[in-house]
Chain A
Amino acid sequence: AQSVTQLDSHVSVSEGTPVLLRCNYSSSYSPSLFWYVQHPNKGLQLLLKYTSAATLVKGINGFEAEFKKSETSFHLTKPSAHMSDAAEYFCVVSHGVQGNLIFGKGTKLSVKP
């Protein structure tokens, strides 16, 4: 069965410092993985996706994630946080032939000035 675990429910960083949001997955076959971002009172926006091509995936707004099969991880990083990055981030694994999505519980990122 497919599942995803976001290891931190809340991460706080200072503006200009690196961001690391951790995600581990479980999948019985080669997974497709996604990171979505949700700003307050907004819908979800796709940040990036991994679909078995390059293991280092670059997304929008300077975010990237690295797929590590040996560690079953797909951590999201950004070199330098910006105030506008404050939001909730969801790690997602695709499930089944239809591609139904299974969401992690989310990590809320706070950015301090």
Chain B
Amino acid sequence: DAGITQSPRHKVTETGTPVTLRCHQTENHRYMYWYRQDPGHGLRLIHYSYGVKDTDKGEVSDGYSVSRSKTEDFLLTLESATSSQTSVYFCAISEVEGRRIEQYFGPGTRLTVT
């Protein structure tokens, strides 16, 4: 398994509170991604990073921000959590960019916003 950990693995928070999820990799891969998984939607890309301090938006980026100050860590922040952000969040990594390159996924974080 790729060396990817996510923390916390489970979190319950209240509407309006800030939340930060952490993805940590030991593979020294350049590219990192945050997805959310919701029933009936598969996985949808929130943000991705192509290097330290280099990030870009994905399909469902509204309400989320990211930061990457070190190669191994990619943080996802919900500035003010809403119930619609209740989901399972997955981090992924890939060594290089390109259409032929697969991504490797972390174990996920289950977030519940009450």
Given the known interface contacts A43-B90, A101-B45, A104-B42, the answer about A94 and B100 at a Cβ–Cβ threshold of 8 Å is: yes
**Partner of B98 from A97, A103, A106 at Cβ < 8 Å:** A97
Contact pattern, A 81-104, Cβ under 8 Å of B = 1, otherwise 0? 000000000100011111111011
Specify which of A95, A96, A98, A105 is in contact with B41 (CB 8 Å cutoff): A105
Q: A90-B42, A90-B43, A106-B42 are in contact. Are A101 and B90 (CB under 8 A)?
A: no
B42 touches A43 (CB 8 A): no
Contact of B108 (CB < 8 Å), options: A43, A45, A99, A105: A43
Q: How many residues of B contact A (CB 8 A)?
A: 25
The 8 Å CB contact of A101, one of B100, B103, B108, is: B103
B102 within 8 A of A: yes
Q: Which residues of A contact B108 (CB under 8 A)?
A: 42-43
Q: How many residues on chain A are close to B (CB under 8 Å)?
A: 26
Interface residues of B in 51-104 (CB under 8 A from A): 58, 90, 94, 97-104
Whether A44 is near chain B, meaning CB under 8 Å from some CB there, is: yes
* Known contacts A97-B97, A99-B94; A34 and B102 CB within 8 A of each other: yes
Cα-based distance from A32 to B50 in the complex (angstroms)? 20
Residues in B with CB closer than 8 Å to A98 are 31, 48, 50, 97-98
- The answer to whether the Cβ of B44 comes within 8 Å of any Cβ in the partner chain is yes
* B48 proximity list for chain A (CB < 8 A): 98, 100
Cα A70 to Cα B70 in complex, Å, equals 45
Asked if A46 is at the interface of the complex by the 8 Å CB criterion, the answer is: yes
Question: Which residue of chain A has the shortest Cβ distance to B44 in the bound complex?
Answer: A103
- The contact sample of 25 A-B pairs, CB cut-off 8 A, is A34-B102, A43-B90, A43-B105, A43-B106, A43-B108, A44-B105, A45-B105, A46-B102, A46-B104, A49-B100, A49-B102, A51-B99, A52-B100, A97-B98, A99-B99, A99-B100, A100-B33, A100-B45, A100-B48, A100-B58, A101-B43, A101-B45, A103-B42, A103-B44, A105-B42
Closest 9 CB pairs of A and B: A103-B42, A51-B100, A94-B99, A44-B105, A43-B105, A32-B99, A103-B43, A43-B107, A105-B42
